[in-house]
Amino acid sequence: MKNKIISKYENMKWYRVVKSIYIIFFALAILWGNMACLVDGGSPAWVFIVTNLSIIFIMGGIEGLFWYIVNGKWGYPKDEESEQSEK
């Protein structure tokens, strides 16, 4: 079942453009971070883990900020129906 709030945005061109830019930026950040670790001369495994986790948390913060700007609430929006069923 799709989130009704997200379905509303998927019909808007600006949302699809921003989502595409976000995905491309995320992929490039992961690629760049991992290539930087490889070029360093074989960094230890913990460097890869820290690099990837840092990128994931930063990108999650950017996504949360996006939804805060769009909806006025931090993070991925939930349907009103699913919020009422959780209570």
Task: Write down the domain spans for the chain.
Answer: 45-69
CA 7 remoteness from chain centre: 17
Tokens of 25: 């930026």
Q: Do 48 and 29 touch, CB atoms closer than 8 A?
A: no
Helix H segments across 1-87?
4-10, 13-39, 45-71, 80-86
Q: What pLDDT, in 10s, does the model give residues 1-57?
A: 567 777 788 888 988 899 999 999 999 999 998 888 778 676 787 888 888 999 999
Provide the 10 A C-beta neighbour count for residue 29.
17
pTM: 0.73
- Alpha-carbon distance of 55 to 44, in angstroms, equals 18
